[in-house]
Amino acid sequence: MADSENSRTLPKISCANAFPNETFVDNLPSVINRRNLLPLAARILPMLLNDLPSRTIAGPVHAKELWPDWYDMYRQRLAAERECQELEARLLEETGGRPSVVITVDDGGTSVGTVSSFEEIRKLAPRIGADAAESARLELLRLRRRWNAADRRIGYSASLAKAQDLARFEGIAGRVLISLQPYYIHDIAAKLHCMLVMYDPELRKEETPWPELRRMLRELIQPYWSVIEPQSRIRLLRPKTRETPFQEKRGRIAV
């Protein structure tokens, strides 16, 4: 990993005395790098976002409000996928594998193949004969019934459907979060964290702009930056409109 993506060693000076009412994150590492960037951002962001002012009027959702919901769905999805893998392993061990049958085809040269669908058996029927095709179909039906009974008992398919639903909702929430208007510096950090988790979770992409985005997130969550520096609000500036001659004339008359 390039040295440019390692942050400088963070100061070991405690700021607790200077900021007695601030909230702190314990056990922070002395260096932020690729291995701990995303987990560390997930630990620090709740504190940073919690310090931001809440909305006082109705309007579009803010990153402060959506990031916790998106991250909760992300964690639920990871947990559901781990559960899926465990249940699938149990199901495969109990059934001996996914339903499939071995078919021998003898049309000038003997060959052996494995099929896992009735459609494949139907296509092979002219080459293996009607009796062999019917035998293969019945065997596959038996194996599928055995698989389905074990699946209902273990709950693999239900867990898989849950993980897929969570992934879909997580993706929707993430895309909305990335598109939100930021109002504070920490909103940008939340958007960057979401973007990296969604599109570069292993932090391995080397093409521009991914290294730059990683550095931006690292700089925004530096503990000494987050605690010592005051919150910075993003002001939306509108360009001045050039006055027409008529407007300038009216202005002179008014004066």
- Rounded-to-10 torsion of CA 87, 89, 95, 96: 170
For the chain, the distance separating the N- and C-terminal CA atoms, rounded to the nearest angstrom, is 65
Place of tokens 């939306």: 236
Measured distance CA(117)–CA(245) in Å, rounded? 79
Instruction: Give the single-character DSSP code of 34.
Output: T
**Contact (CB, 8 A) for 133 and 122:** yes
What's the length of the chain? 255
Distances (CA, A) of 231 to 178, 184, 187: 21, 7, 11
pLDDT truncated to tens, each residue of the chain (255 aa)? 444 455 444 443 333 334 334 455 667 777 889 999 999 999 999 989 998 888 878 888 999 999 999 999 999 999 999 999 999 999 999 999 999 999 988 766 667 789 999 999 998 888 888 999 999 999 999 999 999 999 999 999 999 999 999 999 999 999 999 999 999 999 999 999 999 999 999 999 999 999 999 999 999 988 555 443 445 555 444 455 555 554 444 444 333
Q: Which pLDDT score, from 0 to 100, does residue 30 have?
A: 78
What is residue 21's DSSP assignment?
T
| Structure confidence at residue 233 (pLDDT) | 57
CB 45 within 8 A of CB 186: yes
Pairing of strands 110-115, 101-106: antiparallel
Angle between helices 130-154 and 63-95 (to 10 degrees): 130
Dist CA 48 CA 186 (whole Å): 6
How far apart CA 100 and CA 211 sit, in angstroms, is: 46
